[in-house]
Amino acid sequence: MRRQLPLAICFVMGISMVVQFFIPHRVSQEFYRTILDWYRIVFAFSLVLGTGTLIKVHWAKISKKSKGWQYSIITIGGLVFMLTVGFITGIQEGTLFMKVFEFVEVPLEATMFSLLAFYIASAAYRAFRARTVEATLLLIAAVVLMLGRIPFGYYLWHKIPGIAEWILTNPNMAAKRGIVIGVGLGMISTALKIILGIERSYIGGGK
Amino acid sequence: MNLSLDPWVWLAALLTLCIYSFLYKDNPFYKAAEHLFVGLSAGYFLVIYWYNAVYPDMVVPLFKQGKLLCIIPGLLGLFFFFRFIPKVGWVSRWSIAFYIGVGAGMSIPATMQMRILEQMKGTMQPFFSLETWHIFVENPSLASFGALIGIPLMIVGVMCTLSYFFFSREHKGVLGGMSRIGIIFLMIGFGASFGYTVMARISLLIGRVQFLMSDWLGVID
Amino acid sequence: MNLEKLMRIDRRLIFLLIALAVIFPLLFPIGLPTHLSKPVQDTFNAVDSIPPDGPPLMLSIDYDPAAMPELYPMTLAILRHCFSRNIRVLILTLHRAGPGIGEMATTRIAKEYGKKEGEDYVYLGFKPGFGAVILRMGEDIHGAFLTDYYNRPIGEIPMMREIHNYDDIPLVICLSAAAIPELWMMYAGSRYHQTIAAGVTAVSAADYYPFLQTDQLVGLIGGLKGASEYEKLVNELEERLGVDKKRKESLSKEEYEKLQVSHSKASAGMDSQSIAHLVIIAFIVIGNVAYFAQRRKKR
């Protein structure tokens, strides 16, 4: 029952959502709208779950005084601060909540991802080797694209931007289309396996 | 130089430099900034979910408008948290099953339409076009040659790329030859993506440097 | 040249070189002009074809702060385009980090152009659920968003009285660093035949060309280069419409110049982009030359 009922729920909901796509009747459409509204609410709760896990992990680190437990105080402190400020001041432009978002969270996240620029430069020097024909093709296409997308490329040879655009709209497009179709077939087969109960990993282990 | 007097800008700049200190080596400033980001993000998201989703979509309809049907998604949502109680953790499976089932059902017709049928339709073009042939003959150039071979190249590319991903048969003979051509197309595609990725990463750095040099230090406009 | 040393160069030196490659062109601008690409021009034309004070453009701001350097200039340029032409805008976000960014962009540009919330634009805020929200809006936007971002019941907003679903929306532009434009095409495009354009980071731009060819996307703005192209088109439009002239007359010289700089933020970064690309290409070439020379030496 503990495993059968969830499989049955998944099957019924999955088949209903597929079938309603083809039924324009008022009852079908009303059912469809209701399920979409419920889905959004359930989805919101599922995202909150991640925060619960975060608190659990960091709280355990603090209570056991594991390595780096002092940093976990910063994490929990930041979480509590944002919750308090958010619920007291609201979320409009000009509130303390939005100020902290704009001047603390945005710079931190943007800067963390900008570190990748340095790592890609390091990788370009140390790792990108034209060892095989395929790797050489990859590097040639990359270099042509890099030159084609900057103003300097035009001044180097006026046809470079055109060649870069041709690569994007022809061989690149063909390869990416193959991937899109392949991924699409994979997505449909996975979704069918989930609905039919062949794929059950989402239930987890145990009884 | 026109240093900013805004304490918020100074705070943003100092946190930026804390993260960049990692490029020299890992240090407590970087670790503290990283953990601060994780905590603040989690708190930010919870507040946003409350104001934008949970309160207007569930609390108001249920408690202020008397729409009792909202109890069902509310309960399903709360069942997720049973995961944290080992004895009754199995209750969360109902919520997961609902969520996964609806998502899977929703996606099947849409994926078929968008990723398969439309893309196949886009591939079904005349292999050879008399129009582009005439243009090339009248005005031979790199551009007109590119236009002439574009469609046949696209059709061959899509077929060969798909044949590379067909793993049910060994890649020998005709299939082997086609998948080899498919690899060439894939390498060109990945090369294009790599070129663009370099551009993206550099852009992220440019954004931060613009902030530091313009908003904070005031050495550029 | 000692090839061993060249191959094992301290990576912090590489970091320093790339930092200098970005910093110097910002300090000493070269000013190379940007050339337009067809996908960006198509996006611009699609927005421009919307009649003023008519059905709104739907702008979905679906990215987090990590993608702001590329996508925020695009967001501002599109809003400026709409407000210059008096095109109404319906702004929302499906990404949980989007609300703050949407609020920042919308209030800033609306204030600059004197636009009124509720009449010239509506900011609906965030809704979780991705595909479910997109599908729900196809049936009824008022059902998907019961209130706007500021908690005003959507039925009470003047602009929203005539807008119910995608039949009332001529164009959706999705700005995203993830695969959200694909969800728009999958749900709004397939089921409701909604016209869609996308603004994406350069990482994923190459992946969207199959959808451009099938017209599932009518236009595509890719990365910082795409943002600079769109900025250029909007600046030219404002000159043609006389918006720029009115601004020059109503503002002080300092305020006007500051605004001009903010209207070309993406373009200002293209010089750094050029030099950094050349440095990376040089790294690839030098790295490969050293590698093959060393390999030949070993043989």
Q: What is the pLDDT of residue C294?
A: 83
Which residues in chain A are closer than 8 Å to C64, comparing Cβ atoms?
109
Q: What angle do CA A178, A179, A184 make, to 5 degrees?
A: 100
Which of the four pLDDT bands, split at 50, 70 and 90, describes residue A126? confident
Average pLDDT over residues A64-90: 93
CA atoms lying within 13 Å on the CB side of residue C86? 6
Which residues in chain A are closer than 8 Å to C223, comparing Cβ atoms?
149
Please name the residue that has the structure tokens 């998502």. Answer: B103
Q: What is the pLDDT of residue C31?
A: 81
Q: Which residue would you say has higher pLDDT here, A205 or A196?
A: A196
Average pLDDT over residues C113-123: 94
Q: How far apart are CA C260 and CA C253, in angstroms?
A: 10
In angstroms, the Cα distances linking C77 to C80, C85, C140 are 5, 12, 29
Q: Is C179 in the B-facing interface, judged by CB distances under 8 Å?
A: no
- Name A9's Cβ contacts closer than 8 Å, sequence gap at least 6: B94, B97, B98, B101
Q: Same domain, yes or no, for A139 and A61?
A: no
Q: Same domain, yes or no, for A74 and A135?
A: no
Domain ranges of chain B: 125-221
- Residue A52, in any domain of the structure: yes
* Percent of chain B's residues with pLDDT above 70: 100
CB A140: neighbour CB atoms within 10 A?
Answer: 15
Quote the distance between the C-alpha of residue C10 and its chain's center.
Answer: 36
- Listing DSSP states for A116-174 in one string gives HHHHHHHHHHHT----SHHHHHHHHHHHHHHHHTSHHHHHH-TTHHHHHHHHIIIIIHH
Please name the residue that has the structure tokens 């690839």. Answer: C284
Quote the distance between the C-alpha of residue C183 and its chain's center.
Answer: 18
Average pLDDT over residues A48-76: 90
Which residues are paired to C171 by β-bridges? C57
Q: How far apart are CA A164 and CA A27, in angstroms?
A: 52
| Cβ separation A54–B36 shorter than 8 A | no
Q: Which residue would you say has higher pLDDT here, B130 or B29?
A: B29
| Phi then psi dihedrals of residue B124, to 5 deg | -80, 80
Pair of tokens at residue C156: 């009470």
Which of the four pLDDT bands, split at 50, 70 and 90, describes residue C47? very high
Which of the four pLDDT bands, split at 50, 70 and 90, describes residue B84? confident
Q: What's the structural domain count of chain A?
A: 2
Residue type, A160: I
Residue type, B214: S
Predicted-complex ipTM score: 0.89
Which residues in chain A are closer than 8 Å to B48, comparing Cβ atoms?
91
Q: Which of C22, C132, C257 sits opposite B205 (nearest CB)?
A: C22
B5 has a pLDDT exceeding 70: yes
Which residues in chain B are closer than 8 Å to C222, comparing Cβ atoms?
196
Structural domain including A168 reads 128-207
- Residue A110, in any domain of the structure: no
| Cβ separation C66–A109 shorter than 8 A | yes
Q: What is the pLDDT of residue A206?
A: 65
| Phi then psi dihedrals of residue C220, to 5 deg | -145, 130
A207 has a pLDDT exceeding 80: no
Which residues in chain A are closer than 8 Å to C73, comparing Cβ atoms?
none
Average pLDDT over residues B200-210: 93
- Residue A132, in any domain of the structure: yes
Q: What is the pLDDT of residue A138?
A: 93
Strands C171-176 and C57-62: parallel
Q: What is the pLDDT of residue C5?
A: 74
B134 has a pLDDT exceeding 80: yes
CB B101: neighbour CB atoms within 10 A?
Answer: 28
- Name B103's Cβ contacts closer than 8 Å, sequence gap at least 6: A39, C131
Report the range out of A51-55, A137-141, C247-251 with the highest average pLDDT. Answer: A137-141
Q: Which of C132, C149, C286 sits opposite A36 (nearest CB)?
A: C132
C6 has a pLDDT exceeding 80: no
C125 sits in the region (left: phi over 0; alpha: psi -120 to 50; else beta) called left
Q: What is the pLDDT of residue C1?
A: 54
C121 has a pLDDT exceeding 70: yes
Q: How far apart are CA B88 and CA B83, in angstroms?
A: 7
Average pLDDT over all residues of chain C: 92
**Which chain A residue's Cα is nearest to B12?**
A103
Q: Is A81 in the B-facing interface, judged by CB distances under 8 Å?
A: yes
Which of the four pLDDT bands, split at 50, 70 and 90, describes residue C250? confident
Q: Same domain, yes or no, for A76 and A140?
A: no
Over residues A111-124, the pLDDT tens digits come to: 999 999 999 999 88
C149 has a pLDDT exceeding 80: yes
Specify the 3-state DSSP secondary structure of C194.
coil
Average pLDDT over all residues of chain A: 91
| Cβ separation B196–C23 shorter than 8 A | no
> Distance, in angstroms, between A64 CA and closest chain B CA?
18
> Are the C-beta atoms of A62 and A73 separated by less than 8 Å?
yes
Please name the residue that has the structure tokens 């040089």. Answer: C282
> Distance, in angstroms, between B131 CA and closest chain A CA?
18
Pair of tokens at residue C69: 């350097």
Size of the B and C interface in Cβ pairs below 8 Å: 149
**Please, what is the end-to-end C-alpha distance for chain A in angstroms?**
9
The reported pTM is 0.92
Q: Which chains touch B (3 or more CB pairs under 8 A)?
A: A, C
A1 has a pLDDT exceeding 80: no
